[in-house]
Amino acid sequence: MSGVVSTWSRRRAAVAAEAAAEQQATVDAFALEDAAATEEKSDTEILQELGLPDPMTLVQGDDFKAFMSKTVPAHLRKIALRKLWTSNPVLACLDGLNDYDDDYLTGSTGQGAIKTTYQVGKGMLAHLLEVERQKNTAEIEDVAVEDHDRELDDDVEIEVEMAASPAMESDAEAGIQADDLVAAAPRRMQFQFEDGTA
């Protein structure tokens, strides 16, 4: 057989489509009528017509399936679902792992202006320059402290050498002040050999 669709087949498909459209229109009309009728009725009247108990009186173990049919209005279905979630402790357990529980609008910024060192076109340059300046200042202070400590150590060594030297007593007798000796050049080592030469 060829893939050509006959006129009869096309007509039969069109009639079936028209019947389905009419049926859907009828269902939609009934749904609109039911919605209009249920708007005029109270919830207790609707539950009596459907033969359902009040969803707020249901407890764990009761049948909630009857409230899930399409004939039950949406607001009653929602009430029954809420009661189902609260009646069962397993379903009502909030473990805190729900992503949608967090409020992402506030965050940690408090919805205020955020202060940053970022500069357009320069990035975080100002912050980095400040860190580098502080680092250099700390290094200069460390070098100055080391130099000061070294000078103190040198002064102490000179004073110890002067106190240990016997020439200090003769110099003090001669009237030479200790400050002059500190300012003088440090003493040099002298070597003496066995033959008496220096």
This prediction has a pTM of 0.34
Residue 14: predicted pLDDT: 92
Residue 20: predicted pLDDT: 92
Give, for all 198 residues of the chain, the pLDDT tens digit.
456 778 888 899 999 999 999 988 887 777 677 666 666 778 888 888 888 888 888 888 888 888 888 888 888 899 998 888 888 877 777 777 777 777 666 656 566 677 777 778 777 777 778 888 899 888 888 877 777 777 766 665 666 555 555 554 554 455 555 555 555 666 777 878 888 665
CB 55 within 8 A of CB 76: yes
| CA–CA distance, 176 with 179 (Å, rounded to integer) | 9
Nearest CA among 41, 42, 44, 65 for reference residue 53: 44
Residues contacting 29, CB < 8 A, separation 6+: none
